Structures are given as structure tokens and as C-alpha cells.
Amino acid sequence: MSYHTEPLIACRECDLLLREILVSPNGAACCRCCGAPLYRNTPNSLNRTLVLSLTAITLFIIANVYPILGIEIQGTRNVTNLYGAVRFLWNQEMRIISCLVCVTTILVPAIELTMMIYLLLPIRLRRIPPGIALILRILQKIKPWGMIEVFMLGVLVSLVKLTDLSTVIPGVALWALGGLTLLFSAIAASFNPRDVWAHLDRTSSDKVTT
């Protein structure tokens, strides 16, 4: 195999070849030519991400089980949760939109969180879960399609629009979604795939030597 032992990195955005340098904790390295972020040094990145993911999955379950919003017009009540909204659109023959909403707000975040835990929990217990490479590849591919934060803004816009028409009852899931928005950005900020690769490199070289 032709690994280059000297730590070289190529900028993802301008292909400049750079030599890896040590970065102070919580610091980040940027490309000298185009300023693209290259890598970060997040202390304790994997443990932190694991904790955040576990919290996020709890909130995610709450956000899916409980109603997000309810309205009341002249004594008639109507509440909906995430899945309810998706199913309703499906029945209304708006299948494409229904799928789009389902994928971006339910499936992708669910897959992202489960994979994150599947990846990080064994690493925490000093084991290597099978299929690490595949998981990291999928995580990278699906990341742009998880849109919980956009959905959260959508909920707020709908809430304001509905106050015109009726009494709005914010549901438990609304708060859970608010928390999830923060947690997803915290996960994105703390997760450092380079640490996983480094971990993988270390353990595989251990195996070779022993």
C-alpha cells in the first residue's frame, strides 16, 4: 500500500498541498490559499459528540411522538405531529412533497443519530464497530439533507401565520425541536471525523505489531 507517512493534506476547496501542523485545543487550521477550514482540534471530540447524540436521540423521539402544534377554532381542535403531517400530505396525493418532508425531517436525522451512536459508543468502549468506513461515508453523504433547523423555522412561521386564524397551542414537540436544533449544530461543531480515522489507524497498526 502506498500510504504517505508524512502528514500531507490537500485542501478540499483549492487542492493546495499542505503539511499538517499541530493546532492548539479548540483551534482550527485554515488553507493558506483559499481560507477553507482544513481541520480542527476539538478536545475530547468523540466523547462529547456521543453525549450530544444520546441527548439528541431522546429529544428526537419526543419530537416525533408528541404533537408539534395544535389549533382551536370555535371549539374544534386539531393537533398534528411530524409523522401525522407527512401522512396527511401523502393521503392528499402530494406524495412527492410528503416524501421530501419525511426524508429531510425524519429519516435523515434518525439515520444520522443512530449511525453516530453506533459509531461512537463502541469506540468509547475501546472496540471497533464493523463498517466504520461505510458509516462515515454515508454520514458525509446524507448530512446536507437533514434539515431539522429549517423545519424548526417553518414551525415558527406557521405558528405566527396561524395566530391570525385561530388559537394556537404549542405542543411538547415544539420545545424538543428547539433543543434538537441546538444539539444538531453542537454535534456538527464537535464531531471530528479525523479523530475516528486516527483511532482506526492507531488500532489497525496495533493489530499489525502484535
Partner 1 sequence: MRQVELTAAGLGLCSCHVCGLVLRSDKAYNPAHCPRCHTRVHSRKPNSVSHCSALLIAAYILYIPANLLPIMETSSLFSYREDTIMSGVLHLWETGFWGIAAIVFVASIIVPLFKLLALTLLLVSVQRRSTWWPMQRTRLYRLMELVGRWSMLDIYVVTLLAALVQIRSLATVKAGAGAIAFGAVVVLTMMSAMNFDPRLIWDPLRKEYKL
**2: three-class secondary structure by DSSP:** coil
Binding of partner 1 by 188 (CB under 8 A): no
Per the CB < 8 A criterion, the answer to whether 28 and 39 are in contact is yes
Rounded CA-CA distance 181/153 in Å is 10
- CB nearer to partner 1: pick between 49 and 98: 98
Binding of partner 1 by 208 (CB under 8 A): no
Rounded CA-CA distance 209/204 in Å is 9
- CB nearer to partner 1: pick between 76 and 210: 76
Partners of 70 in beta bridges? 79, 169
Stretch that binds partner 1, among 43-51, 82-90, 111-119, 179-187 (CB under 8 A): 82-90
**Is the C-alpha dihedral spanning 141, 111, 55, 136 positive or negative?**
negative
Rounded CA-CA distance 194/188 in Å is 13
Residues 41-80 that bind partner 1 (CB under 8 A): 68-71, 73-74, 76, 78-80
Partners of 71 in beta bridges? 78, 168
Among 92, 167, 185, 205, binds partner 1 (CB under 8 A): 92
Residue 157: how many other CB atoms lie within 10 Å: 10
Q: Determine the size of the site formed for partner 1 (CB under 8 A).
A: 68
Per the CB < 8 A criterion, the answer to whether 82 and 63 are in contact is yes
Residues 134-173 that bind partner 1 (CB under 8 A): 134, 136-137, 140, 144-145, 147, 150-151, 153-155, 157-158, 160-162, 164-166
Stretch that binds partner 1, among 5-13, 45-53, 112-120, 175-183 (CB under 8 A): 5-13
- CB nearer to partner 1: pick between 51 and 74: 74
Among 22, 24, 25, 96, binds partner 1 (CB under 8 A): 96
- CB nearer to partner 1: pick between 49 and 105: 105
